[in-house]
Structure 1
Amino acid sequence: MDNYEKIRVVGRGAYGTVHLCLRLSDKKHVIIKQIPVEQMTKDERQAALNEVIVLSMLSHPNIIEYYENFLEDKALMIVMEYAQGGTLNDYLQSQNGRLLEEEEILCFFAQMLLSIQHVHSKQILHRDLKTQNILLDKTKKVVKIGDFGISKVLSSKSKAYTVVGTPCYISPELCEGKPYNQKSDIWALGCVLYELASLKRAFEAANLPALILKIMRGTFAPISEHYSNELRSLILSMLHLDPGKRPDINQIMAQPIIINAIINIHTDLGKIPCARTYRPITPALPSTARSRVRGSAVSVRESMPAKPQSLSSVYCWGGGINSAIKLPLPTNDTQVIEVSAGRTQKAAVTKNGRLFNWESQGVGADSLIPGALDTGSPGYFPRFLEGQSAVAIQHVACGDLFVACLTDRGILMTYGSGAHGCLGHGSLNDVTQAKIVEALLGYEVVQVSCGASHVLAVTNENQVFAWGRGDNGRLGLGNADSHTTPQAVSFPEGSSPCFVNCGVDCSMIITLDNKLFCSGSNRYNKCCLDENTREGVTTKSVEEVRTFTRVTSPPIGNSLVKTVATGTSHSAIVTVDGELYTCGANQFGQLGYQTDFNSKQAGLVSTVKDRKITMVACGDTFTVAVSQDAEVFSFGKSARGRLGRSDSDTMTPKPVSIPSDEVFTVVSISCSHGTTLLATKPTQSVTD
């Protein structure tokens, strides 16, 4: 137990004691089941090990996760996932007689079906399904099947004869001493579904003989007409006295009443199958909380052109492209709502919930190979992300070699390189198709940001999670450790994070009250963490911080911050009033003004002070800003077309020429290293 700290006892039973513990390595709460084995016979010890055998064979988001086991103090210790929401039985009792809505019942039941299908596919019988063994996460929306202590692993497809399980849920065939098979688990699952719909057990009696008689007769109170005929018929079929006439797990999942619930579960809570075919998507409209990503649209206030217009345009420059070019879109009616650029990716999200990437046709001017020639503009073609048949994507963020995307239901998925654990899947393995970050199931993520090798995500409840590479303290966890799964970030009480931004080796967070917090490397004072006087005199230099620290020095400490962006060694900050401030290194003029060598204080970009800036993005050594009137300015290093024009390095913001015949609104902008992506739409299509 050296790796764990006991918190309290949460349960006792015939098999031993259950402890809630803190895993010291990552401060995660776990359950440890302590089963004394000293006085057990050889067969009893083997029975105690059975739960370990079963759990180690199972891996499913709706099954309590098994971590490890060990022997200590003459007891077998089984370490498992902790479900904070308690049991389904507790949840039903808390309803105080108020029936659940059918949609909620089907949501719970669909998750149970998915987990039991996984169990049965491994030739395992649960044999003790009941509401006391069905657990909930802290949101009380995600179901976790637990307690496999008396499960039976079948060496063949033979049937189990042992009479086990809680009497109220045992099947008629067990009452008669007949073999136990998957259909007995279906009976128990039917009892659970009945309980969900009635808040009462299907079979109860004052003593065991009376209970057995009720079960053998199949007599139970009718189900409320509050529920659909389909649901009531399903319960009756699962509680059929003849096991041969009960549906199996796949037949239940194929019923129309269940199909929609399972699709929603696959979208919201389970793993998403990645198919190679695409079906039209009709996504739900994102809520206000879900669409709280910073940077509002800006428009050109001119007359509308008369000729027909495209619904969206996306422009690209940099990486050898010396002026803005228009990228092809998948279809003529594609409406792009967001773009994101990474070192090797160019991604976009459409209004109807599709994510696509632009791929280069062979090695061209965008090549990362040293010595590649700047000859001509590379060709790009768009390709939809595979496996979106039941998913509506609303937000995307690109890292160096990986991508994170967010569904309209707040589910986070990642794919690409697993280096440094930046995918959040608990390993360093690469993933070729989008996979759910399972550690965040049960949270509604509203925004995500990717750095070169780390990720931050914020939820609708203003919680922040961080993972990936941790040196310099960029994760804000108080140390320089790296993590392969999301870790909760502590934040000062009273502060509510709502926007996250990841740089190369630092991170920034904006709160609901528009305060700026930073963590990680403060090289060149790019995070504005040096303590300065109003006159710009540095009184304390800060190299790095490992927890999120509020920026208090003027001028940023006195301003209300709307959005931020970070480059390799500088950052840009836009205030609620539309003022643009920059800080950090200025070797190539990326701050937009002349700086004194000794001065590190954030400064106002005075050249654009008469414009209201609404969006900003930083590349490695340059900055791009967008005004309320859709003017696009760039400044800094000009090599390989970074500024979108044939220019030398400049510290004076100058306009980028966008080759459009239309009066447009800027929808989204993103920079990475030496490349910029800009998405627009015709002004008259603005309905906000």
Structure 2
Amino acid sequence: MALSLSSTMLLYKLSLAFSSQNVENGTSDNEGSDTGDDIVFDIDPSLLVDCEKILIGGMIGKGSYSLVFKGWYEGHPIAIKAIHPQCKAKFEREVKLLSKIQHANVVKFIGASVKPSMVIIIELLEGGSLQKTMNNIYPITFSLEQCLSYALDISQAMEYLHSNGIIHRDLKPGNLLLTKDKNNIKLADFGIAKENICDEMTCEAGTYRYMAPEILSKDPLPKGVKKSYDHKADVFSFAMVLWSMIKNQVPFKDRADLMAAYDALHNLRPCLDDFPEDITLLLQSCWMEDPKLRPEFKEISEILITILHNIYTRKINGLASIEVVEEVDSKSEEELSRAQHTPTSFEFKHENETVKPNGETDGEPQSGTKTSFSNLVEKKPKKKSKIKRFFSSCSCIAF
């Protein structure tokens, strides 16, 4: 049952009063507390919505400091991200950041409200998260083309963010949302994103299994000391996401979350056996230990477009060759059919046998005779079977 937002203040206070789940969720965010009750929100009034127009439904997700509900605003379906009361600074930063972003592959910001609870209103992506979809179809995997198409959506979104001085810092399947038709991906959750990319970032921000090695420290840093890394950390995370999509597995699945991050720190990477060569080269370049050697997302997008173009070109050529074979077979059948019904064709009985124009009888076939029309017909299903297998291999995963 949907309730108006103002009537659910108690529900929000109870549901959001949870302790930090960073370790349990395999995430880390050492930003420090921003609980200050003295924070006065500096949010443009035009970004705030009337909470009386919001209806809230059931919970559809949760993060390390937020809960996400399905809802409706002025009759339109929305996603409502309710922020933990102790994260006021994060809330304000995310609202300001999302309000500036306009890209086809980033969730659309609708508005925010500070009373009765801090909530961010975004468009509802009915396809759910990429992680949830992967879990639902396991152990089936996406087709390679679908993985690359999703990867291109992600890369173009990240290219846009980096060109506008924004680093996401938590790129993972759980923060990637699918459209209703499952054809496209949009990037979500900018809770720990940073503007004005610089070399001084907070240590260990992100999700351990997808975290770049330069973010994690082998030894604890003194309080207040920053770690030096930049936007190339997102490129590493992208590589781990692409690998995860292709395999439909989490990276280092047999390791605990924190140990998976330490594996990456010690230059261990997921296995690339059986990966196509061009995909292998792309992944290896994106998860290089030295961030400076990793490509920019502009380059990654260009590589993905080239790989997809090559795949589709091979398929088109394959289809064209099949059509040619089918056309030749069709003409052969037509010529044989005409030959059987021409005035010169005849049959007569001779000693209880049927003699045909080529001298063949209904008894034992003569040596060296041509393949009969009936034999050609019997061979046709094999041809169709090959075509069926070809299209089967071309098809994407069905949801």
TM-score when normalising by structure 1: 0.35
Name the structure 2 match of 1:134: 176
Query: Offset of 1:185 from its aligned partner?
Result: 0.4
Shift of 1:224: 4.4
1:62 counterpart = 2:105: yes
Moved >4 Å (runs of 4+):
260-264
Q: 1:203 touches 1:215 (CA, 8 Å); kept in 2? A: no
Q: C-alpha separation between the residues in 2 aligned to 1:98 and 1:207?
A: 24
Answering whether residue 43 of structure 2 is matched by residue 2 of structure 1, we say: no
What's the C-alpha RMSD, in Å, of the aligned pairs?
A: 2.7
Find the partner of 1:258 among 288, 297, 305. Answer: 305
Report if the CA contact (8 A) 1:133-1:147 is conserved.
yes
Q: How does 1:418-457 map to 2 (within 5 A)?
A: none
- What SS does structure 1 have at the residue aligned with 2:201? coil
Equivalent position SS for 2:215: helix
2:245 to 189, 196, 211: 196
Contact 2:91 2:191 in 1 (8 A): yes
1:213 aligned partner, one-letter code: Y
Q: Percent identity?
A: 23
> Which residue number corresponds to residue 288 of structure 2?
240
- The one-letter code of the counterpart of 2:179 is D
Structure 2 CA distance for partners of 1:21 and 1:209, relative to 1, 3 Å? closer
Secondary structure of the structure 2 residue equivalent to 1:62: coil
Which one scores higher on RCO, CA 8 angstroms, separation ≥ 6?
2
Could you tell me which runs of 5 or more consecutive residues in structure 1 were left unpaired when the two chains were aligned.
265-688
- Cα deviation per residue 1:304-331 (whole Å; 9 max; x = unaligned)? xxxxxxxxxxxxxxxxxxxxxxxxxxxx
Higher-strand-fraction structure: 1
1:36-80 residue CA offsets vs partner (Å, 9 max, x unmatched): 43xx3xxx422221111111111011101101112112x212110
- Per the alignment, residue 160 of structure 1 pairs with 201
Q: Which runs of 5+ in 2 are unaligned?
A: 1-50, 222-226, 312-399
Residue 171 in 1 paired to residue 201 in 2? no
Equivalent residue number for residue 145 of structure 1: 187
Query: What is the aligned partner in structure 2 of residue 665 from structure 1?
Result: none
Helix, strand or coil: the match of 1:50? helix
CA distance in 2, matches of 1:153, 1:263: 36
Go from structure 1 to structure 2 and tell me whether the alpha carbon gap of 1:85 and 1:224 turns closer, same or farther (over 3 Å shift). Answer: farther
One-letter amino acid matched to 2:140: R
The 1-side partners of 2:183 and 2:96 are apart by 28
Q: 1:235 to 1:19 in 2, by over 3 A?
A: same
- Over 3 Å counting, the alpha-carbon distance change for 1:213 and 1:7 in structure 2 is closer
Aligned mates of 2:161, 2:290 — CA distance in 1: 23
Q: How many Å separate the matches in 2 of 1:244 and 1:83?
A: 35
- Deviations along 1:196-223, one digit per CA (max 9) or x if unpaired, are 1111122345445532331122323422
* Counterpart Cα distance in 2 of 1:180 and 1:142: 30
Paired residues of 2:209 and 2:257 also in contact (CA < 8 A): no
Task: Decide which structure has greater helix share.
Answer: 2
Say whether the 8 Å CA contact 1:35–1:77 is kept in structure 2: yes
In structure 2, how many angstroms separate the alpha carbons of the residues matched to 1:262 and 1:6? Answer: 44
Q: 1:268 is matched with which residue?
A: none
Aligned pairs for 1:583-598 (under 5 A) are none
Is the 2:199–2:229 Cα contact (8 Å) retained in structure 1?
no
> 8 Å contact 1:34–1:78 — kept in the other structure?
yes
Cα distance in 1 for residues equivalent to 2:273 and 2:141:
9
1:183 aligns with 2:232: yes
Aligned residue pairs, count: 257
CA deviation string 1:232-290 (max 9, x = no partner): 111111111111111111221232x43464999xxxxxxxxxxxxxxxxxxxxxxxxxx
SS at match of 2:232: helix
Q: Residue 115 of structure 2 aligns with which residue?
A: 72
Q: Secondary structure of 1:129's match?
A: coil
Cα pair distance change 1:210/1:84, threshold 3 Å: same
2:78 to 8, 23, 30: 30
Bigger Rg, which one: 2
User: Which residue in 2 is equivalent to 1:117?
Assistant: 159
> What is the rounded CA distance, in whole Å, between the counterparts of 1:182 and 1:76 in structure 2?
29
From 130, 137, 140, the counterpart of 1:98: 140
Give TM-score scaled by structure 2 length: 0.59
Contact 2:66 2:83 in 1 (8 A): yes
Give 1:54's aligned amino acid.
Answer: L
Q: Give, as a single letter, the amino acid of the residue that structure 2 aligns with 1:171.
A: A
Give 1:150's aligned amino acid. Answer: I
Match of 1:81 in 2: 123
